[in-house]
Amino acid sequence: MQVVVIGGGILGTAHAREAIRRGHDVVQLEREPEARGATVRNFGLVWVSGRAPHELAASLRSRELWEQIGREVPGVGFRPAGSLTLLRTPDEVAVAEEVLARPDATERGFTLLDPTAVLAINPALRGKYVAGLHCSRDGAVESRVALPAIRAALAASVRYTFHAGTEAREVRSTSSGAVVRDDHNREHPADLVLICPGAALTGLARELAGELPIRRVRLQMMQTAPLDEQLTTAIADGDSLRYYPAFAGSELDTLRTNQPQDPVAAQHKMQLLCVQRLHGGLTIGDTHEYTEPFAFDVDEAPYAYLTGVVEELLGRTLPPIVRRWAGVYSQCVDPTELVHRHRVDDHTWVIAGPGGRGMTLGPVLGEQTADQLDL
């Protein structure tokens, strides 16, 4: 088949890779010179620990696929580093204990550790906490370089063509398939068109699919200069218990009642995630904003709060902050959907809305789409 993929983010690239892997020819269009949306503005986490029960099997499968991609394309920087959610109060520990008692705790690779055991796994964590929830199944990739590395590997195949700086303007049906017209006035015939617009839900996506059951979410993040020691796992704090669906339960309800969130964290719907990049810098975030129009600038208060939390957990001063940014991703309104697939006609689909799970689930979503469409 001839497949045209519109969108160069993780979702589009995962679908392109899966189609190539199954023996099809792929033309991929990306309106920017490189993907500039949520795909590169994230932690690069392959995050199994916090996923809801109905997402767990897909998350574990996606991690397997990332590990496979990492072997085939070393430039993505995959590493099975795991994570530590650092707990600072008895109520937070109680949430972790409740989660550990569930049947899926072993699948998630959960272990509750005392501070001495935490230090044995991650010696950089010399700060204040009473326990750590270790997840051995979490991993990380280098979000800023993963997609160029995957595309470079795909480019070795004569079946793959990537057009950067190219916006799709029209998709029209034909008797045997579809034709995509781009803004260079080129036409790309296709047996199948997969539109992965990211957070760009207007324009062509709206024209073809109407108003999708998807909302947009804005976040703020930052990166430090290189840390002079290794952070061997990703780290999270107790606020992540409030955010991720895996931790829902009676003990979380008690935590919410007994332990009000810091006002800055509550205002910005925050949690701490922190990942060390291969160059040594720390990517730290994040916030969540759901009501549009979003601000065009960034707010300093969340950065100051996150810096304080990380310094408390590390027991040391952070290196200077060298980058701050905001990003927007699209999220299905229905929490039971991993991604929203909208069938336009027999030959055209719009696929969007993985939410903050795009980097985690990208490879498995591409696999699932290929299975669903019998590629």
Tens digit of each residue's pLDDT (9 = 90 or more) over 72-84: 999 999 999 999 9
CATH of the domain at 242: 3.30.9.10
The span from the CA of 183 to the CA of 360, in Å, is 32
- Nearest Cα neighbor of 4 from 200, 148, 192, 196 is 192
Please tell me whether residues 118 and 155 are part of one structural domain: no
Instruction: Please tell me the predicted confidence (pLDDT) of residue 316.
Output: 98
Please tell me whether residues 323 and 363 are part of one structural domain: no
CATH of the domain at 166: 3.50.50.60
Instruction: Please tell me the predicted confidence (pLDDT) of residue 129.
Output: 98
Please tell me whether residues 104 and 72 are part of one structural domain: no
Instruction: Please tell me the predicted confidence (pLDDT) of residue 217.
Output: 97
**What is the residue-wise DSSP string for 173-192?**
E-SSSEEEEETTS-EEEESE
pLDDT digits (tens, 9 = 90+) for 155-201: 999 999 999 999 999 999 998 999 999 999 999 999 999 999 999 99
* Residue 135 confidence class, pLDDT cut points 50, 70, 90: very high
Looking only at the bridges linking them, the beta strands covering 234-237 and 83-87 are parallel
The span from the CA of 347 to the CA of 253, in Å, is 46
Please tell me whether residues 29 and 150 are part of one structural domain: yes
Query: Which tokens hold the place of 58?
Result: 């897909």
Please tell me whether residues 160 and 223 are part of one structural domain: no
Instruction: Please tell me the predicted confidence (pLDDT) of residue 24.
Output: 98
Instruction: Please tell me the predicted confidence (pLDDT) of residue 358.
Output: 94
Please tell me whether residues 161 and 236 are part of one structural domain: no
Please tell me whether residues 180 and 55 are part of one structural domain: yes
Please tell me whether residues 173 and 262 are part of one structural domain: no
Please give the single-letter amino acid code of residue 43: F
Q: How far apart are the first and last CA of the chain?
A: 8
Please tell me whether residues 51 and 193 are part of one structural domain: yes
* Residue 137 confidence class, pLDDT cut points 50, 70, 90: very high
The SS3 assignment for 339 reads coil
Please tell me whether residues 222 and 358 are part of one structural domain: no
- φ/ψ of residue 56, rounded to 5: -65, -45
Average pLDDT over residues 37-49: 94
- Nearest Cα neighbor of 339 from 40, 24, 15 is 15
Looking only at the bridges linking them, the beta strands covering 25-29 and 2-6 are parallel
Please tell me whether residues 187 and 306 are part of one structural domain: no
**Alpha helix segments (H runs only) across 203-299:** 204-209, 239-243, 250-258, 263-267
- Rounded to two decimals, the pTM is 0.96
Q: Is 71 exposed, middle or buried (0-12, 13-18, 19+ CB in 10 A)?
A: exposed
Instruction: Please tell me the predicted confidence (pLDDT) of residue 126.
Output: 98
> What percent of the chain is modeled with pLDDT above 90?
98
Sign of CA dihedral 229, 230, 236, 238: negative
The span from the CA of 209 to the CA of 214, in Å, is 12
* Residue 372 confidence class, pLDDT cut points 50, 70, 90: very high
Query: Which tokens hold the place of 70?
Result: 């990492």
Cβ 43 vs Cβ 275: under 8 Å: yes
Query: Which tokens hold the place of 207?
Result: 């024209």
- Report DSSP state, residue 217: E
Cβ 316 vs Cβ 181: under 8 Å: no
Range of the domain at 115: 83-136+214-332
- Nearest Cα neighbor of 247 from 93, 370, 363, 126 is 93
pLDDT digits (tens, 9 = 90+) for 318-370: 999 999 999 999 999 999 999 999 999 999 999 999 999 999 999 999 999 99
Q: Residue 293, preceding bond cis, omega within 30 degrees?
A: yes
pLDDT digits (tens, 9 = 90+) for 267-321: 999 999 999 999 999 999 999 999 999 999 999 999 999 999 999 999 999 999 9
The domain tally of the chain equals: 2
